[in-house]
Structure 1
Amino acid sequence: MTSIMTNTAAMAALHTLRSINNNMEDVQARISSGYRVETAADNAAYWSIATTMRSDNAALSTVQDALGLGAAKVDTSYSAMSASIDVISEIKAKLVAAREPGVDKTKINKELTELKNQLASASESASFSGENWLYNESTDAVGVKSIVASFNRSTSGSVSVSTLDYDTSTSILIDVQDTSRGQLTKGVEVVQPDTITDPTAPTTADATYHLLYVSGSTAPTGSKLVELATDTTDDDIDGMISAVDAMLSTLTDSAATLGAITSRIDMQENFVANLMDVIDKGVGRLVDADMNEESTRLKALQTQQQLGVQALSIANTNSENILRLFQQ
């Protein structure tokens, strides 16, 4: 039936054209934003996952910064520790030289004094961001230092932060308030060999030696400073050499620990960087738009839109054909 009141063909063409225009708006939004799922209305499940993972990636970025800060602190401590080991080795060599008969011990002691000053300078300068893991002026022990190492999310959704801990009691070289807490300020006891089992052993008694003593000019009662004088005996020098060698061994262990932490931080930094990339890729697979597909779809919709407009135009011309029936 042909009617001038209701144009069914035009209504159908208009409905199709509206559908095409809506689809075109969606495609254009994807092309302009680059996202297939930009809001929760697009896909609530994927949008929720993507939002959570982007938040976790931001937290991982902060972890990466914290690891960089921690690495700088460890590198600073290791650098000063390594320099201190070199100085201790030099002190040990000077003490061995002092064992040579006829050598001027007072001149060697001047060199020892400067080497000790260098140790104090290296320890005090090993500061980064207000923290010094080799030198302590506080009445409290430095204790354990923590470096933020990772951000974790469990399968249940709970989150936690993991840290990499380092006990600085093994690396404090100088403690101004309590000399017993510093590796270079605490006393090192040297036990002399037994003269019964070793007839060539020295007859001097056991002694405790201090390389550095920052609280005063003299060593504590019953202790000796590692310093030379004209009347310093060979037995005392042997004791000093043993004490310095023990300190060198302790510092070597501390440096090895710092080196291991440096290696661990480097591995963790690489892992966090790779993890962030993997998360970005995973989120992209969920919400990113395929631009090749969207551009092809847009071209098809543009063609459909042109055809829809033509179809609507043809449908509207039907009423004009009715007028011709009434023409004379």
Structure 2
Amino acid sequence: MSSLLTNSTAMTALQTLRSVSSQLATTQNRISTGQRVATASDNAAYWSIATSMRADNAALSAVSDSLGLSAATVDTEYTALNSVLGSDGNSGLTKLQSLLVEAKTAGIDRTKIQSEVTQIQQDMKNTANSATFNGVNWLSTTTATPTTVNLVSSYSRVGATPTTNSIAVTVANYSLYTSSTSGILDTPTSGVSIDNMNIGTLTDSSADQTTLDGYIAQVTAAINSVSSGAADLGAIKNRISNNSDFVKSLMDSVTRGIGQLVDADMNAESTRLAALQTQQQLGVQALSIANNSSQSILSLFR
């Protein structure tokens, strides 16, 4: 039936054109943003998951930064401990030990040996005082230095429960000098510490030889303590490095997961865009034809 008031064909063509235009707008938005799910209205479930995963990635990025700072701090303390230990035998505690053994030689000039001992003592203290990174020093401590330091190592979330793990560092294991003289090198034994021991006045007497034996034992114990501390820091250093690599890999994995949820397939979208543009053009043409069909009614009244 031909009607002047109701053009069913035009209405159908208009509905089709609206649908095509809506799909075309969606496709153009995906192409411009590169995302299939850009807002919650696109897909509430996927958008929610992607948002949570992005938040997790931000937390992992903070962990990665924290691990970098921790690595630098541990490396500074580790390097200083090795320097104090003097593993090359020409400095530090190992050199001090050899000088004390040399001082047991009968008739040797211990005053001259003491001048070298003094230089080693000062050098070790300077090294400990210089082992500072970002205001942190575990080798030369004060009452303000915390007894335990927690280095953030990982972050995870199960459901709505986040978990942050850390590496606990006991500062006393590496403290060489303290404000209360309770460090590895300044703790006195029978009133004498490695930091202030002096052999310049000792002689070949049995009593002084016994004193030297005590000094040697004291330095040997310090070497063992510093070696243990350096080994512990070395293990922590390796753990931080492994955690840092894992966190970076995990961030990449999360990023890929987010992409699989929300990223648009540009190959598919480009094909869909071409098809919709063609459909839009045909829809406009169909609507034009439908609108012109009403003109035929005029011929009935000529």
Q: How does 1:1-328 map to 2 (within 5 A)?
A: 1-86=1-86, 87-138=92-143, 142-155=146-159, 157-176=160-179, 178-179=180-181, 181-188=182-189, 209-213=192-196, 225-231=197-203, 233-327=208-302
| Partners of 1:262 and 1:226 in 2: CA distance | 36
The 8 Å contact of residues 103 and 113 in structure 2, kept in 1 or not, is answered as yes
* Larger RCO (CA under 8 A, 6+ residues apart): 2
Count of matched residue pairs:
294
1:219 is matched with: none
Tell me whether 249-258 or 63-72 shows the greater mean CA deviation.
63-72
Question: Any stretches of 5+ residues in structure 2 without a counterpart?
Answer: 87-91
Change (3 A) 1:65 1:141: closer
| Partners of 1:287 and 1:279 in 2: CA distance | 12
Q: Percent identity?
A: 44
The 8 Å contact of residues 75 and 262 in structure 1, kept in 2 or not, is answered as yes
Q: Give the superposition deviation at 1:3.
A: 1.8
Q: Give the superposition deviation at 1:129.
A: 1.4
Q: Which SS does the other structure have where 2:201 is aligned?
A: coil
- Deviation track 1:161-183 (CA, whole Å, cap 9, x = no partner) reads 2111011111100012x22x200
| Partners of 1:170 and 1:257 in 2: CA distance | 9
| Partners of 1:313 and 1:137 in 2: CA distance | 87
- Deviation track 1:2-37 (CA, whole Å, cap 9, x = no partner) reads 122211111111110110000000111111111111
| Partners of 2:257 and 2:294 in 1: CA distance | 56
Tell me whether 293-302 or 2-11 shows the greater mean CA deviation.
2-11
The 8 Å contact of residues 142 and 169 in structure 1, kept in 2 or not, is answered as no
* 1:187 partner letter: P
| Partners of 1:7 and 1:303 in 2: CA distance | 24
Q: Which SS does the other structure have where 1:320 is aligned?
A: helix
Q: Give the superposition deviation at 1:240.
A: 1.7
Specify which structure has the higher proportion of helix.
2
Q: What is the TM-score normalised by the length of structure 1?
A: 0.85
| Partners of 2:297 and 2:260 in 1: CA distance | 56
Q: Give the superposition deviation at 1:241.
A: 1.6
The 8 Å contact of residues 47 and 287 in structure 1, kept in 2 or not, is answered as yes
Root-mean-square deviation over aligned CA pairs: 1.7
| Partners of 1:25 and 1:52 in 2: CA distance | 27
| Partners of 1:27 and 1:17 in 2: CA distance | 15
Q: Give the superposition deviation at 1:226.
A: 4.7
2:89 is matched with: none
The 8 Å contact of residues 110 and 199 in structure 2, kept in 1 or not, is answered as no
* 1:162 partner letter: N
